[in-house]
Every structure is written in C-alpha cells, then in structure tokens.
Amino acid sequence: MILSIIDDQQWLTTLGEVPSWTPELMPTMVVAPHPDDETLGAGALIATLRAQGVPVTVVAVTDGENAYETSQDERDALGQVREAEQTAALQKLGVEANSIHRLRLTDSGLMQRQEELTRRLLELAKDGMQIVAPWSGDFHPDHMACAHAAESVAKAKGLPLISYFFWTWHRGTMDLLAGLPLGRFVPDETAMQAKADALACHASQLEHVSGEPILPKRLLGPARWPFEVFLHG
C-alpha cells in the first residue's frame, strides 16, 4: 500500500504559488512509460494541444503488462487490455490511434533497455517538436529511464523538453523541486473533463478483482487538481 508523504491540500497550497505557464503550440511527442502515465501527468495538456489542432504523437513505451503479480498468461492478457484502454483514453484527449507508437518494451525493465529506448525515441523525434516525458526524479525506475532517454534525445536534436510528474506527488516533498523551473498550467474545463474521461478508460488500474488496484482513489487526487505542473526551460 502506497501512502502519500504530503496530502493533496498541502500540495495544492504549495503548488498554487508556482508561476503560471502556457505551453507552446508546436508538434509534441509525449513519452508514456506505461498506459495511463500520459493521462495522469499531462492529460489536460494533451487535450489542450489537440483542441488547438496541434499534432501530438504518443510513444507507448510498454504495454504495462506487469502491473500485477500474476501468471505470464494473465500478464500477456493484461497488456492487451491496457493497450485498448490507452487507445480509448487517448481518443478522449483527441489523439487518434495512428498517432500512437508502441515500442512494446518490457514493463518494469526499462533501466535494462536504456540504450535501445533512447535509440528508438531518437528515431521518432522530429525537428520542430517538443518532447513531453516524465521527470527524471519521478521515483519509478521506468519513469526515470524514459526521462533520461528523453533528455538525451532532446539534447541530441536541440528540442525543448517538458517534464511531467506523478509519483513525485506521492513519494516526494517540495524540497525535491526547490529551485527547478516549474510552471503551473491551468487548463479550461473542457480539457479537464477530457482528462477525467480519459482516466476513466483505465479500468484495469482503477479496480482489481483480488487486492488493491494500482490506482486506488487516494492516489488520484493529483490527476484531479485544477492544474498540471511541469518542469520546463
């Protein structure tokens, strides 16, 4: 069971002082370690960009098959379920299936595939894009691997990098973010509703037949805040 170090209200109060930030309306590549990460950390941003007609590509790095400790057959089946959930969720955000690139790397094994991950992101990144990826300190090893790969690609191609957060809100404190160039993006109600609708598509993570789901209600607070926070610049 994961218990947040800082409760939602404390984060809301502290992050309310973060300067407002508006994203650039430019083609965007979003890196998602697992199906649902892009919605949890940047769903309203994605919906906002798509509503403005901005092309958004989502790189689904894993299928999230190892979310639960089950048999291999069950994990394979879960990967297929999560792929379908992600496709449905991204459609709610305005991203069509043909804009999703699936790398199918092993869930919970990205640290061991860092070189391949970087190479494959480099192949997908185009000039004139911005990259949106997890923060390098976001606690989950797969998130950190994606962050390091995205940083390498952004540096190699001279592209802007924007970092999103999820596990930081549960396992970290504001001290970790002190001095970082954070921006608070306040989306409109339409984008927030799209994010909520997208999150609801990830049923396999919101409910589990035997035991606690990956995303119990107590962990969903940050995904429902009236803003999203990013590291930029």
Q: Which residue has the tokens 């002190």?
A: 178
| Sign, Cα dihedral of 221, 160, 194, 20 | positive
The CB density around residue 13, as the number of other CB atoms within 10 Å, is: 9
DSSP 8-state symbol, 161: E
Q: Alpha carbon 53 to chain centroid distance?
A: 21
Q: Tell me how many degrees the CA angle 179-181-183 measures, rounded to the nearest 5.
A: 125
Q: How far apart are the C-alpha atoms of 87 and 232, rounded to whole Å?
A: 27
* In the predicted structure, residue 23 carries a pLDDT above the cut 60: yes
Instruction: Report the chain's mean pLDDT, rounded to a whole number.
Output: 95
Q: What's residue 181's pLDDT?
A: 98
Residues 223 and 233: their CA atoms lie apart, in Å, by 23
pLDDT band at 73 (very low <50, low <70, confident <90, very high): confident
pTM, entire model: 0.96
Averaged over 159-165, what is the pLDDT?
99
Q: What is the pLDDT of residues 205-219, one digit of tens each?
A: 999 877 889 899 989
Which of 129, 143, 137 shows the shortest CA–CA distance to 40?
143
For 42-57, the pLDDT digits (tens) are 999 999 999 999 999 9
Tell me if 65 sits within 8 A of 35, measured CB to CB. Answer: no
Q: How confident is the model at residue 159 (pLDDT cuts 50, 70, 90)?
A: very high
**Residues across the chain:** 233
Write down the CATH number for the domain with range 8-18+26-64+77-231: 3.40.50.10320
